[in-house]
Structure 1
Amino acid sequence: MKKISRKVLFEEVADALAHMIYSSELSPGEWIDELKLCKQMDISRTPLREALKVLASDGLVELVPRKGAFVKTISLQDLDEIFPIMAMLEGYCAQLSAEKATREDLHCLQELHSNLEHHAASADIPHYYEVNTQFHDALKRIARNGWLEQITLDLSRVVHLARHQQLIVKGRLNESIAEHRRIIEAIEAGDADQARQVMHVHLMNQYRALKESITKELQHGLDK
């Protein structure tokens, strides 16, 4: 039997840093204080720097010569380039999910959707977004296409830096849960074409709301 290899230290550090970035403990554009993190994590700089290389390859960190590492900032141009691709690929994930979902898969999606409804009803954006990520990741798995899953996950890591901001736009949370209802209904009905279309609309609506949120934030900064 092949031995199961344990996760090496720099991978654990990379996971910890990614969580800090996604939870906004490390903010977009922030310089990463390596000495401070080494003390916090009780590690040397070698595994930290290896971890930063991993995060740089995932698009979460930018390594600047002679200046160090910075948390990646998502620009409006990034959104313009990434979201149409995301909408197309995640639409295909939804299409394949509608074609391939088993009874167990549908039960998993229904539970996640029930949690989304609960968090939407209480306007709990942080937990809504967390379950939303789980829902989209589940669709990627149910599509049962390894290449598609890997590509969409790679893009999601980058967009994840700012994606939750779209939910703070007025009315967007209610729109989002309504879109999720249509997605789950299409998948339960086995309507692959409808699933693809509603997912594409869902992603492009995310894009427009996120762009609105970031534009307002930039304008607010200029007005100060």
Structure 2
Amino acid sequence: MSAVSLAPRALYEEVAELVRERIYKGQLEPGSWIDEVKLAQEYGISRTPLREALKVLAAEGLVTMKVRRGAYVTQVSERDLAEVYHLLSVLESDAASDVARAATAAEVAELKTLHAQLEASVKNHVKFFALNERFHMRILEIADNRWRNQLVADLRKVMKLNRHHSLLKSGRVEEALAEHRGIVEAIEKRNPAAAAKRTQAHFASGLEAAHGG
């Protein structure tokens, strides 16, 4: 039987990733108009794959398409943030509860290691943000509900439009680390209710910081 030839990644997907990273890095600011002609020239592509890429980003909530006005980087309102944090709190607290109930000893040890790495990276913001997301996503992976994971991944893309600002607020990193520590402790003690409650508290604190509280 001959080997199956896999199609290369579609061009529009590669372009979507490039634009997504520019949005996350603040090179394309929330509320700003996306100059399709300029971007297409910069990437050396036609407008077609760029438009397809923007449709992908619009489906993720990162881009807003306006009739006869083009594409804009989504500007997240306070209501948007509250709704995203609420859903993340519900979904991730449910996952933390599942992990406390069913994780293996090796998986608990992995979460403890991830948290230790997070504690050690507080002076490196890029690394800290990456490890912070990895910690949250690893809990979801261990809980092993692919539909929940997909919902959270999409919601987190929208949250990234604001999350760096909230984590950089004075004292918020230390608070987040203490909250993570509490979640890990509850998981290690096999206490599903405490793991869920501490995860909910973590998101409540994160939303308060995001709103400037």
Cα 1:139–1:3 change in 2 (3 A) is farther
| Deviation at residue 50 of structure 1 after TM alignment | 0.2
Which residue number in structure 1 is paired with residue 16 of structure 2? Answer: 14
Query: Taking structure 1 as the reference length, what is the TM-score of the superposition?
Result: 0.88
Which of 81, 99, 121 matches 1:97?
Answer: 99
AA of the residue aligned to 1:166: S
Residue correspondence of structure 1 range 168-179 to structure 2 within 5 A: 168-179=168-179
AA of the residue aligned to 2:46: S
Question: What secondary structure sits across from 2:65 in the alignment?
Answer: strand
Query: Taking structure 2 as the reference length, what is the TM-score of the superposition?
Result: 0.92
Q: Matches of 2:4 and 2:89 in 1, distance apart?
A: 39
Residue correspondence of structure 1 range 63-212 to structure 2 within 5 A: 63-120=65-122, 122=123, 124-212=124-212
| Deviation at residue 2 of structure 1 after TM alignment | 5.5
Question: What secondary structure sits across from 2:71 in the alignment?
Answer: strand
| Deviation at residue 88 of structure 1 after TM alignment | 1.2
Stretches of structure 1 lacking an aligned partner (at least 5 in a row)? 214-224
Cα 1:2–1:100 change in 2 (3 A) is farther
Query: RMSD value over aligned CA atoms?
Result: 1.7
Question: What secondary structure sits across from 2:33 in the alignment?
Answer: coil
8 Å CA contact retained: 1:119, 1:128: yes
Q: Matches of 1:21 and 1:111 in 2, distance apart?
A: 30
Q: Matches of 1:102 and 1:113 in 2, distance apart?
A: 17
Q: Matches of 1:51 and 1:192 in 2, distance apart?
A: 40
AA of the residue aligned to 1:117: E
Question: What secondary structure sits across from 2:8 in the alignment?
Answer: coil
Which residue number in structure 1 is paired with residue 36 of structure 2? Answer: 34
Report the count of equivalent residues: 211
